[in-house]
């Protein structure tokens, strides 16, 4: 539920501002960021990027920022910039900043933090106990009927979903949660279904189906299910004692998830399953993961005591593993699982555990 975690962080940032340190990306050493306009938006022009390093075979690694900056990096829709949260200068405003992926001068994108639609055309943000939806192209705003709760945009940005919890339950497996959906302007708001001891796990790319975690009855293991919002049907595709980390492949054909602390050790681990419920497979590796392409999962394995992280690529259909980096020749360590994969699957940006700067890793 990354969108919900982001909303919690966002509420805190809006109230307190982002802590941060001065940016000094290399190369070249930048000038101090220019003062923002009165209403900075995503339409600000991009700076001219510096030349990228000469291409070489295999993976490459370079530092993007300096002086212990920044946090929560992610990629611009075109993959040309890395965006992050920070206050680059004590006099600069807290907000969303961007820097060319090849290095250069950071720019302020917006001081209005929020959750963006997948195409970054719309933004949702909390204000005065309400959730405001803003169209960044037209400036039109709507009040979402979510009562100030976090919303998740559909893939095309035309719909929103949110959770509404019933009165406090005696235990998690008895918690009743209603999943609501509405058009982005608030029209056609309706409860889609009730979930027991679970919640919303994500939109499928077709925008017609969603993934949810729910239980058939209190005390039973939760199940991962695909819900058709038009038909109201629910199709279980996996079951486990503690389901976490649901991620949907780019075309929606596969789902990756974790099943944790199972009474049967053979059931615990990192799993993949097709969205139709077939092809379920426990992978022979465990760690942080992102879908690189349809059926191809990137994994940064959890290896306690190892001096460096590494990146693996796993074929979901077969479980075959390919190493993409060698810790001996290209050591790096990611801080707190804070990393993001570029839209084309070719680069990773991460917060370094060594110097807390942003680094970019180009994959073979």
Instruction: List pLDDT tens digits, range 261-302.
Output: 777 777 789 999 999 999 999 999 999 999 999 999 999 999
Mean pLDDT score of the chain, rounded to an integer?
85
* pTM, rounded to two decimals: 0.82
- Taking residues 194-212, report their average pLDDT: 96
Q: How far apart are CA 264 and CA 273, in angstroms?
A: 19
Q: How far apart are CA 121 and CA 112, in angstroms?
A: 14
**Residue 343 three-state SS:** coil
For 101-141, the pLDDT digits (tens) are 999 988 999 999 899 999 999 999 999 999 999 999 999 99
**∠ Cα 102 287 81 (to 5°):** 15
Antiparallel, parallel or unpaired: β 95-100 and 81-86: antiparallel
- With bands split at pLDDT 50, 70 and 90, how would you rate the model's confidence at 29? very low
Q: How far apart are CA 69 and CA 75, in angstroms?
A: 16
Phi (first) and psi of residue 211, to 5 degrees:
-100, 140
**Residue 13 three-state SS:** helix
Q: How far apart are CA 218 and CA 169, in angstroms?
A: 11
Residue 57's pLDDT is what? 55
Q: How far apart are CA 276 and CA 253, in angstroms?
A: 8
């Amino acid at each position: 539920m990354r969108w919900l975690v982001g909303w919690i962080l966002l509420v805190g940032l809006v109230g307190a501002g982002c802590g941060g340190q001065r940016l000094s990306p290399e190369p070249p050493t930048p000038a101090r960021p220019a003062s923002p306009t009165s209403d900075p938006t995503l339409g600000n022009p991009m700076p001219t990027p510096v030349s990228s390093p000469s291409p070489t075979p295999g993976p490459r690694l370079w530092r993007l920022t300096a002086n212990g900056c920044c946090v929560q990096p992610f990629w611009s829709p075109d993959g040309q910039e890395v965006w992050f949260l920070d206050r680059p200068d004590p006099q600069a405003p807290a907000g969303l900043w961007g820097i060319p992926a090849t290095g250069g001068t950071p720019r302020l994108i917006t001081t209005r933090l929020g959750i963006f639609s997948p195409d970054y055309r719309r933004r949702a943000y909390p204000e005065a106990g309400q959730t405001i939806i803003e169209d960044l192209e037209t400036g039109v705003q709507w009040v979402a009927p979510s009562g100030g709760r976090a919303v998740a945009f559909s893939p095309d940005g035309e719909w929103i979903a949110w959770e509404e919890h019933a009165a406090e339950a005696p235990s998690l497996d008895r918690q009743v949660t209603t999943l609501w959906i509405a058009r982005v302007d608030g029209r056609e708001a309706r409860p889609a279904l009730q979930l027991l001891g679970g919640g919303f796990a994500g939109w499928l790319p077709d925008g017609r189906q969603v993934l949810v975690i729910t239980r058939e009855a209190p005390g039973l293991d939760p199940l991962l299910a695909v819900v058709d919002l038009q038909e109201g049907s629910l199709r279980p595709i996996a079951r486990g004692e503690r389901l976490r980390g649901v991620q949907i492949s780019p075309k929606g054909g596969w789902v990756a998830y974790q099943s944790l602390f199972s009474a049967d050790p053979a059931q615990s681990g990192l799993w993949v399953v097709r969205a139709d419920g077939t092809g379920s497979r426990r992978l022979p590796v465990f760690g942080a993961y992102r879908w690189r392409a349809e059926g191809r999962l990137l994994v940064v394995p959890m290896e306690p005591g190892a001096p460096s992280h590494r990146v693996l690529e796993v074929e979901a259909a077969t479980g075959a593993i390919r190493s993409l980096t060698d810790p001996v020749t290209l050591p790096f360590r990611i801080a707190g699982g804070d990393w993001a994969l570029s839209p084309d699957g070719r680069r990773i940006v991460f917060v370094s555990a060594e110097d807390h700067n942003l680094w970019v890793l180009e994959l073979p």
